[in-house]
Amino acid sequence: MSDGQQKKTFVVTRFDPDRDEAPRKQSYEIPVQPDWKVLDALNFIKDEVDGTLSYRWSCRMAVCGSCGMMVNGEPRLTCKEALSQYGDTVDVGPLANFPVVRDLVIEADGFMEKLTSVKPWIIRAKERAVEEGPMRQSPAEHEEFKQFSLCINCMLCYSACPVVANEPEFLGPAAIAVGHRYSIDSRDEGAAERNEVFRGEGGVFSCSFANECSEVCPKNVDPAAAVNQAKFNAVIDWATGLVLPRGGDE
């Protein structure tokens, strides 16, 4: 720790379910390096100042999606956020719109349930035999869904979404984007099944298109575009169902 080294104060949300009735704030003034990310500062606090601080992190390169937190009130991937862009005081809290397990760790079970409810895998009416060879896909067909497949499930979009805040059962941006990614995959035949989920309670039509999800997405997935495309496809599917009653799509 050399003299004159820049210092910043981190106001971190702490919550121990065994001791605290409600989350509280704790301040740490620490020396920082110019090239640090927000996560580096949290790691410094954990290693050098207060080993009881709990938070999730893993890859340090914006791929694993586990270090999402509220930084100065905005959902951010802390491993991607340069510390230099913030002032002398940085507020770090757990992702909004999620139950808190401890300190900066949130409960993601609800999100995982939503994610599996949209069946994010290739659905085939009839299983394809290995002998039939690979299912070929053109670059153009791949490009159709590529952007939406880049989601890392970091859940920042759920923290930013005003609908999730008011309506916790809303499927939410990431789950819809990931489900839609499979529905528009040329190898998939499960769009009708997913449309049932999309049109159901808390489905795509709950979205009021605030676009906040796309604003905060660290991977430029543009979930708001996916939600709107999913709405359109759900409407087409619904209208087709009126003209061609069940079985029309078989």
Query: Which residues sit at the interface with other proteins, rule CB under 8 A?
Result: 162-163, 166-167, 199-201, 205, 208, 210, 231, 234-235, 238-239
* First-to-last C-alpha distance (Å) of the chain: 70
Q: What's the closest the beta carbon of residue 10 comes to other proteins, in angstroms? A: 32
In this complex, which beta carbon is closest to other proteins, that of residue 58 or of residue 166? Answer: 166
Which residue type, as a one-letter code, is found at position 141? E
Burial class (CB in 10 A: 0-12, 13-18, 19+), 189: middle
Q: What's the closest the beta carbon of residue 238 comes to other proteins, in angstroms? A: 4
Q: What's the closest the beta carbon of residue 228 comes to other proteins, in angstroms? A: 9
Q: What's the closest the beta carbon of residue 236 comes to other proteins, in angstroms? A: 9
DSSP code of 47? I
In this complex, which beta carbon is closest to other proteins, that of residue 145 or of residue 170? Answer: 170
Q: What's the closest the beta carbon of residue 138 comes to other proteins, in angstroms? A: 30
In this complex, which beta carbon is closest to other proteins, that of residue 147 or of residue 228? Answer: 228
**CA-closest candidate to residue 54, choices 93, 81, 85:** 93
Tell me the H-state helices in 118-211: 139-146, 156-160, 162-166, 173-183, 191-199
CA–CA distance, 98 with 159 (Å, rounded to integer): 8
The region, left, alpha or beta by phi > 0 then psi within -120 to 50, assigned to residue 83 is alpha
In this complex, which beta carbon is closest to other proteins, that of residue 65 or of residue 223? Answer: 223
In this complex, which beta carbon is closest to other proteins, that of residue 66 or of residue 97? Answer: 97
